[in-house]
Structure 1
């Protein structure tokens, strides 16, 4: 018989993300975001070191639909389209050859950034959380289970703003593959079921303005369309939307 936990106030509802074609929802843990993981120029040298990574809270995840609130404290709000990986089984020191057996599913998502705050942090040698970990900074499409999708090796990763192409690449263009990223992270922290990994963004990141229509996706996985709101109207979109 489990002991009753005496909480000083009611625990918040767990953060969850929709599952495509299902009423079930995926419980969210941590959100790991990978830095540069595509070539941003044709002559860019192959990487010799594994990419940097940072984190967002689960509360930053929201449904990629409807209004996209313009965040406070920035004048340079930028988009970064990414393939999202959802972990279904945790582990430490996971072998890259076994990594896919730990993956529950995939989505398309955005790593939204307050670029001016990021540049200030870079200059000062400070942390990136103010630039990356704000509310609604990780919109995601519903997760597609790997048991029905498989594990994507190919597929366009794309984003347009007001119908004009901004970002386009392919999953096969990742400098470090999904299994390599899972293995890398698991050597630093014990991965847990519910963790998300945003796998890096292609070239073409740029600013968003109020009224912009942002459309993007990952072929075979999901796509979205959102409209950027006004800085004066930051209504919550919520992480529990169907």
Structure 2
């Protein structure tokens, strides 16, 4: 009887010992997994909302693998060219919901200005919100010239009834964001409405230069579509 009891106790001790060893193994395995890291993309410094990200603004840091989510970027190339929808903290993991590809918000140092109709001589009919345009100054007394050295962004293009000009069945902005150049082109052909008001994202210096040039009535603006809008969709579908 004593021998049977001793055998039972020995077996129980062996089982408990095995369970203890297995429990320690699981704890060690969990600890090892928590110590494993993965590199995620972070801004090098604080980034204001509306800023377009370039490679020099970004780097990668190591974080515990268990803390990495699908909202984080793991490659710098994925974030280059996107614009900040919200302020980005220095060395904080970059989250996808805070970024967008084609924002209409003015960038830091810019504001959205509605251009007075009497300032405008002509506007390319095919321009839409989100496009980049080249602004020229057409003067009667002086030589016509390009007003700004770089293209500027269209914040809105509206009809006389204050409706955004676009094709509701085939949004130009959606096609632009998806990089589908064929749909972008089709949207421009099918959209209805005559351009009555145009809003541009400009710096204060650009607006003052534009206003001073046009307010006397001797010069007017020619706003032309810039092909870099389609270049931005270069990664889209091809025939």
Aligning the two structures, in what range does the TM-score lie when normalised by the shorter sequence? under 0.3
Give TM-score scaled by structure 1 length: 0.22
Which one scores higher on RCO, CA 8 angstroms, separation ≥ 6? 1
Give TM-score scaled by structure 2 length: 0.23
Higher helix share: 2
Higher strand share: 1
Larger radius of gyration: 2
